């Protein structure tokens, strides 16, 4: 006769052995940080394809308007992707958190929006953002949700 009381314990132990550990969490945090940095660089470089690849197909971005879906996000971000020297949006993550399952991450940081008028005067604004990242089936992190605060006047660099 088999002792089936051991089965639940064995399953739990197997699950714990496969669960991400602290070192995995640190790796996931670095991956999310790098995805956020790559996201900024793609926008700064005007690389529409690379930028689009970092946005989830069903993403939702909140800013001046609500954008739903990768196509809508990329279309709305065209002014920032056009490599216009009179318009610059740059950002950088300061805080990263990831789920213990390793499939969701959150990045938070600051951004700077610089606009150069025809007379050469600069208008600089700064704010904060939060991006939720989801690991796709292909293992790549993609932005699923993005929220930015309205830009407040800031000092030019």
Structural domain count, the chain: 1
% of the chain exceeding 90 in pLDDT: 77
Q: Is the pLDDT of residue 137 over 90?
A: yes
Structural domain harbouring 116 = 23-153
Per the domain annotation, does 17 fall within a domain? no
pLDDT at 7: 43
pLDDT at 64: 87
CA distance 52 to 70: 7
Burial of 33 (0-12, 13-18, 19+ CB in 10 A): buried
Per the domain annotation, does 8 fall within a domain? no
Per the domain annotation, does 7 fall within a domain? no
Each residue's pLDDT tens digit, 90-128? 999 999 999 989 999 999 999 999 999 999 899 999 999
pLDDT at 32: 98
pLDDT at 108: 98
pLDDT at 49: 98
Q: Mean pLDDT, the chain, as a whole number? A: 88
**Any bridge partners for residue 87, and if so which?**
115
The mean pLDDT value for 12-24 works out to: 50
Per the domain annotation, does 10 fall within a domain? no
CATH number of the domain within which 91 lies: 3.10.450.50
Per the domain annotation, does 100 fall within a domain? yes
Q: Report the predicted TM-score, pTM, of the whole model to 2 decimal places.
A: 0.82
Each residue's pLDDT tens digit, 65-94? 999 999 999 999 999 999 889 999 999 999
CA distance 121 to 35: 33
Per the domain annotation, does 112 fall within a domain? yes
């Amino acid at each position: 006769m088999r002792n089936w009381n051991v089965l639940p314990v064995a399953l739990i132990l197997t699950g714990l052995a496969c669960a991400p550990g602290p070192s995995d969490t640190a790796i996931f945090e670095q991956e999310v940080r790098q995805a956020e940095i790559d996201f900024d660089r793609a926008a700064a470089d005007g690389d529409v394809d690379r930028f689009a690849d970092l946005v989830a197909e069903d993403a939702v971005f909140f800013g001046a308007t609500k954008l739903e879906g990768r196509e809508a996000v990329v279309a709305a971000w065209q002014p920032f992707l056009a490599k216009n020297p009179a318009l610059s949006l740059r950002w950088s993550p300061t805080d990263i958190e990831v789920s213990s399952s390793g499939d969701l991450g959150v990045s938070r940081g600051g951004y700077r929006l610089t606009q150069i008028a025809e007379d050469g005067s600069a208008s600089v604004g700064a704010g904060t953002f939060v991006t939720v990242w989801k690991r796709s089936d292909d293992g790549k992190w993609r932005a699923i949700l993005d929220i930015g605060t309205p830009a407040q006047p800031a000092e030019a660099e």
